[in-house]
Amino acid sequence: MTTPEALELVSGERMRRDLFLLSSAPLPFRTVRYTRPGSSVCSLREVDGMVASCLVEAGFRVSETRQRVQAFRCDRGKPLHHWYARPEPTDPWYDAFNVEGAREGRDLPGEIIQLVSHKDSMSWIDSPGALDNGVGTVANMELARVLAKVPLRRTVRILFCNEEHTPWTSRAAAESAARRGDHILAVLNQDSLTGKSDRDAAQGRRTHAVAYSTEEGRALAHLLKRLHDAADIGLDLTLVHKERVNDDDGMFIQAGFRTTVMNVGSFPYADSQYHLEGDRPERVDIDNLVRSARLVLAAVLALDAEGEAALRPQG
Ligand SMILES: [Zn+2]
């Protein structure tokens, strides 16, 4: 299969369906604190089941790692969008899980392309978290399905972690990878794809920012730009330097995996409903999401075909 053929397989319909399942019905939230009537597990654990069955169907080997987390407290006196507040040690602790899918490459299984997205919604308010980060979750699920149809030379891993509870579970995953000495070629974190300002939304702009915090991440961002232009993906694409090494990509950088970027709808993040109850799935620009997912897929395919050589500047 050629890259353009693979990119065509990305389905907006499937992503829309998954997005509403995860941020409307049956799951209005994805937290340790909310359990649906009649369910025996919390809504975040229900997400784990949906993600795992998607991965298994796509031929990925699934592993789960348990971690103790707390919900953030809510402080509405803090600035809008930033109401999360540190819990007290005596606040309840819950089980949360990293769910990871892996498909081993045929030729170079030791070389790993790592995709990441946090799957939880805000633990301090009742927000559907459609953009943050339903979209990254469903994009990575869709990439698993498309990759099922592609023979892989190298290994692709997809981590679904938790970043709206504390501590962030991506840190444990990144540190385990470092302890094992994993050879990770690149880390691509999908968080809040297509999230943009009301003005950009009104103008119909299909935005995508690739944010990098290291020199190696900058090379990866430039690969994405080259692939975007070559495949005519049609995004309003910006490459931006992200000063603060944070978010799930930052956890990988801190663990030593420096060829890392965050794919995000805008940077600085400009969604008016960021971390608010209004972050609903109806607001998500699915056409934008299809193009953003295609861009990430193009990067996976290039890294799978060429390995580190894909990251060298061309010409
Ligand atoms: Zn968030």
d(C-alpha 56, C-alpha 53), whole Å: 5
Residue type, 238: T
Low-confidence residues of the chain: pLDDT under 70: 315
pLDDT at 99: 99
Residue type, 302: A
Closest CA to 174 of 119, 255, 98: 255
CB atoms within 10 A of CB 189: 29
pLDDT at 315: 56
* Ligand 1 geometric centre to CA of 243 (Å): 18
212 with 263: CB under 8 angstroms? no
* Ligand 1 geometric centre to CA of 230 (Å): 32
Residue type, 98: N
pLDDT at 69: 98
What CA–CA distances, in Å, run from 129 to 125, 244, 282?
10, 23, 11
Phi, then psi, of 154 in degrees rounded to 5? -110, 175
CB atoms within 10 A of CB 270: 17
Q: What is the pLDDT of residues 224-256, one digit of tens each?
A: 999 999 999 999 999 999 999 999 999 999 999
Q: What is the pLDDT of residues 129-179, one digit of tens each?
A: 999 999 999 999 999 999 999 999 999 999 999 999 999 999 999 999 999
67 with 100: CB under 8 angstroms? no
* Ligand 1 geometric centre to CA of 254 (Å): 19
* Ligand 1 geometric centre to CA of 58 (Å): 28
Domain boundaries, given as residue ranges, for the chain: 3-311
CA 264, 269, 274, 279 dihedral sign is negative
d(C-alpha 256, C-alpha 259), whole Å: 9
* Ligand 1 geometric centre to CA of 125 (Å): 11
Closest CA to 200 of 239, 247, 235: 235
* Ligand 1 geometric centre to CA of 232 (Å): 30
* Ligand 1 geometric centre to CA of 149 (Å): 32
* Ligand 1 geometric centre to CA of 164 (Å): 6
* Ligand 1 geometric centre to CA of 132 (Å): 5
Query: pTM for the complete prediction?
Result: 0.98
Alpha helix segments (H runs only) across 197-285 = 198-202, 215-231, 247-254
Structure tokens at 63: 């592993």
- Asked if CATH classification 3.40.630.10 holds for the domain at 3-311, the reply, yes or no, is yes
Structure tokens at 48: 């784990």
* Ligand 1 geometric centre to CA of 270 (Å): 12
